[in-house]
Structure 1
Amino acid sequence: MPKKKTKAPPIQQILKKIRPAWVEHVGSELARGMEVRAGFEKQLGRFFDLLEQSVTTGDPAWMDSILLDWAKSSTETNLEDGLYHVSFLINRMIALTIQVANETLTKQQSLDLLAAIIPIYTYGLGVVARYEMETRVAHISAEMEKVQKQMERVDRSKSAFISVAAHELKTPLTLIEGYSSMMEDLTGEQKSEQLKSLLAGMTTGVGRLRIIVDDMIDVSMIDNDLLRLNFQPAQIGTLLEALRKEVESAAQNRKLSVALSNFEGSRQWIYLDSIRITQALRNVISNAIKFTPDDGTIKIDGRLLPGFIEVTVTDTGIGISLENQNRIFEKFGQLGSVGRHSSGRTKFKGGGPGLGLPIARGILEAHGGSVWVESPGYDEKACPGSTFHILIPARTEAPDPKMTKLFDKLGRKDEIPDDPAQ
């Protein structure tokens, strides 16, 4: 008589058979310490109950509740380090389940078990991985937002300090200027050489401090959108020619050549705040002088673009590294050693408060323009140089129509041809 084949036990019986060994193995490997292990084994019991339910019903969604509970228990350290501990647990459970099945069941029972539960484990991995990734992204986003808010607070504090410090310095500085002028008047022609030297030094020092205080006030106004522009018709070429003459003496002392081209658009009448645009151009040109070695060249050129006039300031200086080409337009973003810190505008590689270029950018952006720099890099020996690009809107009308009518009545367009170069 042939032997009857033994009927394979239902998968539920197989699960019950391996449960004690499974809980023992998983608990021993994944939990440390008796107290931790006891609590974890309760969780494993719940996990196994839901695993059985999923196998019985064929619906792996029964696992969602415990998997999400575990995933939500991720610590701050797990999130900061990017550790996905529940995914790791599930992967280890799969490996330990295979091990327990091989040790406890027949080969066929083991295959039947794995065929039933591997899809559920795979589903669980997907649920956990998706949740952990979403949690990680949310954590990183929250951290970035926190850092952004901290940076904004620091920037506001910095701006507030600049504003308060500038206005607090302005009053005593005005008094010093007044008393210095009074001393100059009272002594008249009777001053000794020593007194003349002392008064000259005081005047120079007060003048430098006045420039710094005024720059601080300008930065404060730019940061708080309080910069007011007085639009009037002007020619970029005229402003640049005045600046060239202004820096001529300092350039000669450094044996620098400052060349100004009569480019297309330089004699075109446009509406701008000539005082503020001159200030912005001065800051850029002074920066070029400061970082160009003696015997170097600074070339001021430009061109007419649709809606804009572009001014370029090209030097044969030490250049600017790529990583610093944005930084130089930030407040206090001066480069170089603090040991060279100086308020001088033309001393080679002299430091400063680092406000000139940020002010230039703020003025130009308030006009609707922009400024940026191009440089092959930083090299004090090869001196690759830099080119600053300044875009100024070519406004044919002032923002206030009344201002446009006023200057039209004065006949400004008849004074000088629009552009002799055309």
Structure 2
Amino acid sequence: MDRTNQNELDKLRRIVLEQDNSAKLLIRRDLELTRANEKLRELDQAKSNFISIVAHQLRTPLSGVKWTLNMVLSDNFGSLTTEQKSFLMKCYESNERMIMLINDMLGADRIDSDKLKYNFVPTQIFDLMDNVLFELTALVKKNKLRVNFINKERTLPRVLMDNEKMRAAVQNLLENAIKYTPEGGEVSIDFQVLDEFLRVSITDTGIGIPDEDQKNIFNRFFRAKNAIKVETDGSGLGLYIAKGIIEKHGGKIWFESKVGKGSIFYFTIPISP
């Protein structure tokens, strides 16, 4: 074998050796990634189990506290002075915030782990939103707001949705609009048919969302800076949960907002065939 052929052969051997080493490295990296992914899945499952256990252990006594406070505030154990009622109402509201926080944590975890089961049925979403608003009457009155449906008399098509899940999404959106709208402001709800979807818009004259915060507004635990100043309590999970539920319905959610002017949150949901 002449020197030229020997050089070519040596070169080929080096290439084969390099490829062999590269293949071994890729296999090793693949195994490491597989083990890391398995570890992440185990950690994620452990996190879900922890949240479920803690939430259950907390929610049970908190529900008992809520029931007891309701009984006391209803004068079932005797009359209360105005000062006593005021103090107990603050306890009741704090207890409600704790229950809401636990429910939000459970809701976010179920969305992350895809544990929520959906039962899509033809439903009139106007009725659902009207019922949610009725439940928020006390908050609306407290803030002295005007809340109205635009074109209320219009007949809307039914949409395919899971009533319980969509109720949670709608409640988060409406609560935000009401909580972050100053006294004397307005919240309005409108519907528009867009091809195979119904678009719902919730408009408020609230504090708005700063430009620098808008890209993160649907992230877990995120709250805009000006929102924290207005409402110190809050999980920062409401919009994250609403987005997850709406997208699971095959819809989309987005918004327009200006600080000091207010926000419009839109979402779409498929119309029932």
Return the TM-score normalized by structure 1. 0.49
For 1:394 and 1:134, how far apart are their aligned partners in 2?
Answer: 52
Candidates 194, 197, 204, aligned match of 1:308: 197
* 1:332-372 Cα distance to aligned partner (Å, 9 max, x none): x11259x9998xxxx73645333323432443355x32444
> Does residue 166 of the first structure (1) align with residue 166 of the second (2)?
no
Call closer, same or farther: CA 1:203–1:155 in 2, change over 3 Å: same
The CA deviation string for residues 288-341 of structure 1, in whole angstroms up to 9 with x for no partner, is 55677889886644432343323244664224657636x61xxxx11259x999
Could you tell me which amino acid in structure 1 is paired with residue 271 of structure 2? A
**Structure 2: how far apart are the matches of 1:387 and 1:372?**
11
> Which residues of structure 1 form unaligned runs of 5+?
1-55, 57-111, 397-422
1:391 alignment counterpart: 268
Q: After the TM superposition, which residues 7-156 of structure 1 pair with which residues of structure 2 at under 5 Å, given as runs?
A: 56=1, 113=3, 115-156=4-45
Distance 1:201 1:298, change over 3 A: closer
- Corresponding letter in the other structure for 1:164: I
- Pair 1:335 & 2:222 matched: yes
CA contact (8 A) 1:334 1:353 kept: yes
Partner residue of 1:283? 172
Task: Name the SS of the counterpart of 1:165 in structure 2.
Answer: helix
C-alpha displacement at 1:186, in angstroms?
Answer: 3.8
Question: How far apart, in 2, do the equivalents of 1:182 and 1:385 lie?
Answer: 39
Amino acid in the other structure paired with 2:20: Y
How many angstroms does 1:280 deviate by?
0.8
Q: Equivalents in 2 of 1:153, 1:169: separation in Å?
A: 24
1:364 equivalenced with 2:254 (yes/no): no
Name 1:99's counterpart in structure 2: none
* Aligned match of 1:233: 123
1:267 counterpart = 2:156: yes
Contact 1:255 1:294 in 2 (8 A): yes
3-state SS of paired residue (2:169): helix
Give the 3 Å change call, closer, same or farther, for CA 357–187 of structure 1 in structure 2. same
CA distance in 2, matches of 1:144, 1:324: 29
RMSD value over aligned CA atoms? Answer: 4.3
C-alpha distance in structure 1 between counterparts of 2:18 and 2:253, whole Å: 44
* CA deviation vs aligned residue, 1:24-44 (integer Å, no higher than 9, x gap): xxxxxxxxxxxxxxxxxxxxx
Matched residue, 2:46: 157
Q: 2: CA distance between counterparts of 1:125 and 1:290?
A: 70
SS at 2:222's partner residue?
coil
Residues 91-139 of structure 1, C-alpha deviations (whole Å, 9 max, x = no match) = xxxxxxxxxxxxxxxxxxxxx84x3444234323432443344344434
Residue equivalent to 1:182 = 71
| Structure 2 residue corresponding to 1:373, chosen from 254, 258, 262 | 254
Question: 1:318 aligns to what?
Answer: 210
Amino acid at match of 1:393: P
Q: Which residue of 2 aligns with 1:210?
A: 99
1:166 positional shift? 1.9
2:251·2:269 contact (CA, 8 Å) conserved in 1? yes
* Paired residues of 1:312 and 1:388 also in contact (CA < 8 A): yes
- The higher-RCO structure (CA 8 Å, 6+ apart) is 2
**What amino acid maps onto 1:151 in structure 2?**
L
Residue 341 and residue 146 in structure 1: after superposition, are their counterparts in 2 closer, same or farther (change >3 A)?
farther
Paired residue type of 1:210: I
Label 1:374 to 1:134 Cα distance change in 2 as closer, same or farther (>3 A).
farther
Larger radius of gyration: 1
Contact 2:145 2:184 (C-alpha < 8 Å) held by counterparts: yes
Alpha carbons of 1:322 and 1:198: their partners in 2 closer, same or farther (altered >3 Å)? closer
**Contact 2:252–2:267 (8 Å) recurs in 1:** yes
Report the CA distance shift for 1:297/1:138 in structure 2 as closer, same or farther (over 3 A).
farther
> 1:266, CA displacement in angstroms?
6.8
> 2:230 aligns to what SS in structure 1?
coil
- Do 1:341 and 1:352's aligned partners in 2 also have CA atoms closer than 8 Å? no
- Counting aligned pairs with the same residue, the percent is 26
In the comparison of the two structures, how many residue pairs are matched?
A: 267
Report whether the alignment pairs 1:199 with 2:88: yes
Any conservation in 2 of the 1:218–1:227 contact (CA below 8 Å)? no
The AA in structure 2 aligned to 1:171 is T
Q: Partners in 2 of 1:354 and 1:166 — Cα distance? A: 17
Structure 2 CA distance for aligned equivalents of residues 119 and 231 of structure 1:
71
